[in-house]
Amino acid sequence: MSKSKKNYPWLTNKPNSAKTIIERAKREVPGFIGHYKKFEEQMTIGGYSSSTLFNYSRAVGSLALRFKKSPLELDDEEINSFLFSVAREKKASSTYFKHMVYGLRFFFRLYDREDKVIKLPTIKSDRKLPVVLSRQELKALFFAPARLKQRVLFALIYSAGLRVGEVCNLKISDIDSDRMQIRVVKSKGNHDRYVVLSHYILQGLRKYIRSSKPKVYLFNGKVKGEPLGKSAVQQSFRLAVKKAGITKDVSVHSLRHTYATHLLEEGVDIVTIKEPEHMPSLCT
């Protein structure tokens, strides 16, 4: 265990420990249950996603656990010490740090503590260009997994421009082969949308469904009837990338960036890309 993890056991970037942080804060920090309920109420009213509630609550819960008291009782030096610890943690991603700052901003504004908000660090926007895969690299990636399920999964993410959470939550009933569309329920921003279903992908889906016989969700998790986990998709993707011999620094989300880039290369205008139900399919 690294020195930072020994000194700060409350500080972690592992998704499977986030729920533990929130539950511990509810048990160990006086008043945190009330804070969480207020978070939940305001975010539900504001139309925020459950993942945002989760990430922001984790941020406040981590801070509360660090000092064993409500963030409202902390001074600026204590808050800065906490954020410094987060920033210094080598395995803490920039997204994780952003969630921490945004979560604390939301929290202090709930209690009209604008004096605390303005003293939080400003998050600089990341303007790095996304990594895009070539068509040859995509072909190698799609054929890398031994299992049909994974091959169809990656091809579907690319062909429909889906996010990881969206493909995990797809149900069999969301596939409309008559209209050649896929219904994406409660995507980013808590909005539903339709995306194009490729004829090529539909053939793969039918073959996959006949062999795997999923129940309810299109892609089974460990137990039939339960959705596939994000971490399982990400791990399978990393293995496929390695097997395909791809050296670019890519993630599952790179398939979505690649999809948009290839549409632009095909001459599809940016307005059409933002209205996915009108877009042509890249897998035909």
User: What tens digit of pLDDT does each residue of 74-107 get?
Assistant: 888 888 888 888 887 755 567 778 888 888 999 9
pLDDT the model gives residue 126: 57
pTM of structure:
0.57
pLDDT the model gives residue 180: 92
Rounded distance, CA 70 to CA 199, Å?
Answer: 54
Q: To the nearest whole number, what is the mean pLDDT of the chain?
A: 82
pLDDT the model gives residue 189: 56
Neighbours of 76 (CB within 10 A): 11
Q: What is the mean pLDDT of residues 123-146?
A: 84
Neighbours of 173 (CB within 10 A): 11
DSSP 8-class letter at 125: P
pLDDT the model gives residue 118: 77
Helices 230-244 and 148-160 pack at an angle, to 10 degrees, of 100
Q: What is the pLDDT of residues 234-279, one digit of tens each?
A: 999 999 999 999 999 999 999 988 988 877 766 655 444 445 444 4
Task: Give the residue with greater pLDDT, 117 vs 27.
Answer: 27
Is 195 in a helix, a strand, or coil? strand
User: For residue 120, is pLDDT > 90?
Assistant: no
User: For residue 281, is pLDDT > 60?
Assistant: no
Per-state percent for the chain, helix, strand, coil, to nearest 5: 60, 5, 35
Domains and CATH numbers, the chain: 3-117 (1.10.150), 135-278 (1.10.443.10)
| Sequence-separated (6 or more) residues with CB below 8 Å from residue 230 | 15, 164, 165, 168
User: For residue 8, is pLDDT > 50?
Assistant: no
Q: What is the pLDDT of residues 54-68, one digit of tens each?
A: 888 888 999 999 999
Neighbours of 144 (CB within 10 A): 20
